[in-house]
Amino acid sequence: METKYLVRLNRYIDSMPSLSITVSKILEVTKNPQVTAKDLNKVISLDPVLVGKVLKLVNSAYYGLSNKVTSLVTAIIMLGINTIKNLALSTAVLGNMRKGSSFKTLNVDGFWRHSIGVGATSKLIATKIGIPAIRREEFFIGGLLHDIGKIPLNVIFEEEYLRAIQQADMHKTELIEMEKELIGITHCEVGKLIGEKWRLTDETYECILYHHDPNMASEKNFRLVSSVYIANIYCNLNEVGFSGNRYTKKIEDYLLSSVGVTEEYLDEIFESISAEIEKASVFLQVSGQK
Amino acid sequence: MIIFQWEAEQSTNDGDFNQMKARFWGVRGSIPTPGPETVKYGGNTTCIEVRLNDGRIIIIGAGSGIRALGNQLVVQDMKKGPLNVNLFISHTHWDHIMGFPFFTPIFIPGNKIKVHGPVNIGDESLEKIFALQMSYNYFPLRADELAADISYEILKEGSFQLFDDVQITTKILNHPIIDLGYKIEADGAVLVTIYDHEPFRNLFDSNPEDEDYDEVAKLEGEKAAQENNERVMQFMKSADLLIHDAQYTNKEYLSSKIGWGHSPIEYALYSCVKAGVKRLVLFHHEPTRTDSEFDIIQRALERRITRISNHHMEVFFAREGLEIDL
């Protein structure tokens, strides 16, 4: 990849706006002087960019923490309501300043539904496989942020990304292959840049980087990354949202068994995932958008 | 035993320094409050002069109190030559930087002033934030017209050597903006500032009957609040002198000030006892607090504090002009 494109990608990542879909709710919530931590947590947790930026701030070198913060609840308590509120607002406003530029090729509503869907599915898998409640948010965040690298790609390489989606569709292949071929960098690699800049935890970082190849994940995070991998394929196959990847491979049996879920279980939770997305949509008042 | 030494012993050290000393030039929070009801404790917003044994100058806070300090520095210290000042800002809320444009040493060539402070969420430089209050709409001179050599340093949590023999440690506190507490270790003594600060609390506490009850968030919030309060406690632990936020009484705090980023006096007192602090200065006074109200609060605290018997700590209200040897 040419340096000038990397520079543009990096510059975009530095001022990445929140998803336009959450902006009106953020504006509404932040306008309320009595806003609660719960309100903020609810709206932030529905936006992968905002989640990333909150964790970025609390895990920045400015906070001399020996362990990285992985949870939004802890981050909100440490940063305080006002700082979180202003961070959310400034991230939302970044989008307004460049109206229409945050999503050029991908459909923002489809992307958002896919991200929430993968987050919700991963969390349900975590519950099923007996992950303690306090760690399940990691599964949600890993799923929510797994495709974050697509945001800068579809803005900086607008035309190429459209071609990549079309070619993937035409050749019935995965989008990531076309990203490699037509752009020279994949959304996982762009996600890696974001993960490094935002100082995301190893857990989230590996979900972003390895959600197409969980065997690359560290032993510690293998089940987490594999859960996000399964959730991603599951949401693509069942058309839970759309993030440009129409054709995907079947989930390997050995991965299902190493994680500890069955296809039957995944079929059972479909309704819960749809309900979760609809609930979030209603909360954001975006249910009319398709 | 807690000794309420409401009239703290005035430093007897006049110009001949043996140890670090602290002098209060502004003790009020939020906004200057001059007038007949604040004569005793003073109405200027926060500014503390810290003098090392050899006369080196550290200033904490650039509230309105820094104006008079600046004038004294020009008259007294500049007789010996240009100044070399390290100014530490807890955060950039207006009451803590408003005095800077009136700090005379910034207008005098040859003076070196280094401003240290925390980052903000927009990654804006301290220089830019300071310059903003000296822009056309707010002040007749622009920041780049200042004649002194002024530099700015963003601080993160951690420790560094300000000089070979002076260590500074910082701690991010709980306030509606990123806010730093400072620990200065020099001349064999430890001075700590913790303002503007409110105890961390569980923002996700709720009843199981509530519609949006989330047990995981509640437990996690409890743990986060406790851990962060413990970190602040550790930060103040070795203090010979602790200057702590004490803007409200507990009653005021609980009635309408939760979340405003300031501590109740009682919290400052009990946490300092727990941390084994030797001397506590109650600081950053509520702007509406009159001199006579301090007397009422003092009596109420003395009654309550008799329950604590196993710790020796001196405690007093900060007031303008108070000077303490460490």
Range of the domain at B132: 2-325
In B24-61, which positions are buried (b, 16+ CB within 10 angstroms) versus exposed (e)?
bbbbbbbebbeeeebeebbbbbbbbbbbbbeebbbbbb
Residue indicated by tokens 């980052």: B119
Q: A92 and A119 share a domain?
A: no
Per the prediction, chain B carries an average pLDDT of 92
Q: Give the pLDDT score at A37.
A: 94
Strand pairing report for B189-194 and B180-186 = antiparallel
Q: A141 and A68 share a domain?
A: no
Q: Which residues are CB-neighbours of B256 under 8 A, at least 6 positions away?
A: none
- Of A67, A97, A127, the residue at which a domain comes to its end is A97
Confidence label for A241 from pLDDT (cuts 50, 70 and 90): very high
Q: Give the pLDDT score at A232.
A: 96
For residues B111 and B74, give the distance between their C-alpha atoms in angstroms, rounded to a whole number.
10
Q: Give the pLDDT score at A101.
A: 54
CATH number at residue B161: 3.60.15.10
Confidence label for A290 from pLDDT (cuts 50, 70 and 90): very low
The SS3 assignment for B8 reads: coil
Q: A84 and A56 share a domain?
A: yes
Q: Give the pLDDT score at A287.
A: 36
Q: Which residues are CB-neighbours of A97 under 8 A, at least 6 positions away?
A: A17
The reply to whether A112 falls in a domain is yes
What is the pLDDT averaged over residues A150-166? Answer: 93
Does any CB of chain A come closer than 8 Å to the CB of residue B199? no
Q: Give the pLDDT score at A102.
A: 63
pLDDT digits (tens, 9 = 90+) for A25-82: 888 888 888 899 999 999 999 999 999 999 999 998 888 887 889 899 999 999 999 9
DSSP secondary structure string, chain A? --HHHHHHHHHHHHTPPPPHHHHHHHHHHHH-TT--HHHHHHHHTT-HHHHHHHHHHHTSTTS--SS----HHHHHHHH-HHHHHHHHHHHHHHHHHTTT-S-SSS-HHHHHHHHHHHHHHHHHHHHHTT--GGGHHHHHHHHHHTTTTHHHHHHHTHHHHHHHHHHHHHTT--HHHHHHHHTSS-HHHHHHHHHHHTT--HHHHHHHHHTT-GGGS-TTTHHHHHHHHHHHHHHHHTT-S-SS----PPPPHHHHHHHT--HHHHHHTHHHHHHHHHHHHHHHT-TT--
Contact A123, A141 (CB under 8 A): no
Q: Give the pLDDT score at B200.
A: 98
Q: How many domains does chain B have?
A: 1
Instruction: Kindly report which listed range (A32-36, A52-56, A182-186, B23-27) carries the lowest average pLDDT score.
Output: A32-36
Q: How many domains does chain A have?
A: 2
Per the prediction, chain A carries an average pLDDT of 90
Does any CB of chain B come closer than 8 Å to the CB of residue A41? yes
| Cβ-defined contact of A83 to B121 (cutoff 8 Å) | yes
**Distance (Å) from the alpha carbon of A77 to chain B's nearest alpha carbon:** 6
With residue B267 as reference, give the H or E element that holds it. Answer: helix B265-275
What is the pLDDT averaged over residues B184-201? Answer: 97
The reported pTM is: 0.90
A225 pLDDT more than 50: yes
B305 pLDDT more than 90: no
Strand pairing report for B313-317 and B2-4 = parallel
DSSP secondary structure string, A96-130? HHTTT-S-SSS-HHHHHHHHHHHHHHHHHHHHHTT
Residue numbers in B near A62 (CB within 8 A): 118-119, 156-157, 172, 178
For residues A197 and A187, give the distance between their C-alpha atoms in angstroms, rounded to a whole number.
15
pLDDT digits (tens, 9 = 90+) for B49-78: 999 999 999 999 999 999 999 999 999 999
B11 pLDDT more than 60: no
For residues A185 and A195, give the distance between their C-alpha atoms in angstroms, rounded to a whole number.
15
Confidence label for B310 from pLDDT (cuts 50, 70 and 90): low
Select from B157, B172, B203 the Cβ nearest to the Cβ of A76: B203
Q: A32 and A60 share a domain?
A: yes
Instruction: Kindly report which listed range (A42-46, B15-19, B25-29) carries the lowest average pLDDT score.
Output: B15-19
A97 pLDDT more than 60: no
Contact A64, B158 (CB under 8 A): yes
Calculate ∠ Cα B149-B155-B156, nearest 5°.
170
For residues A69 and B213, give the distance between their C-alpha atoms in angstroms, rounded to a whole number.
23
A154 pLDDT more than 80: yes
Q: Which of A32, A43, A59, A74 would best serve as a mutation to test chain B binding (most B beta carbons within 10 A)?
A: A74
| Cβ-defined contact of B261 to A76 (cutoff 8 Å) | no
| Cβ-defined contact of B118 to A80 (cutoff 8 Å) | no
Chain B nearest-CA residue for A91: B122
The reply to whether A289 falls in a domain is no
The residues that bridge with B183 in the sheet, in sequence order, are B169, B192
Residue numbers in A near B215 (CB within 8 A): 133
Q: A129 and A261 share a domain?
A: yes
Q: A120 and A212 share a domain?
A: yes
- Of A78, A97, A116, the residue at which a domain comes to its end is A97
| Cβ-defined contact of B178 to A41 (cutoff 8 Å) | no
- ipTM comes to 0.90
Q: A132 and A87 share a domain?
A: no
Residue numbers in A near B212 (CB within 8 A): 38
Q: A114 and A62 share a domain?
A: no
Chain B nearest-CA residue for A53: B121
What is the pLDDT averaged over residues A146-172? Answer: 93
The reply to whether A40 falls in a domain is yes
| CA-wise closest residue to B215 among A134, A70, A120, A76 | A134
pLDDT digits (tens, 9 = 90+) for B240-286: 999 999 999 999 999 999 999 999 999 999 899 889 999 999 999 99
What is the pLDDT averaged over residues B14-24? Answer: 77
- Of A42, A75, A97, the residue at which a domain comes to its end is A97
- Whether the CA torsion B316, B317, B321, B326 is positive or negative: it is positive
Contact B21, B49 (CB under 8 A): no
CATH number at residue A79: 1.10.3210.10
Q: A196 and A277 share a domain?
A: yes
Distance linking the first and last C-alpha atoms of chain A: 34
Does any CB of chain A come closer than 8 Å to the CB of residue B160? no
The reply to whether A290 falls in a domain is no
The reply to whether A80 falls in a domain is yes
Q: What is the 3-state secondary structure (H, E, C) of A24-61?
A: HHHHHHHHCCCCCHHHHHHHHCCCHHHHHHHHHHHCCC
pLDDT digits (tens, 9 = 90+) for B106-164: 999 999 999 999 988 877 889 999 999 999 999 999 998 999 999 999 999 999 999 99
Q: A27 and A73 share a domain?
A: yes
Range of the domain at A39: 3-97
Q: Give the pLDDT score at B8.
A: 56
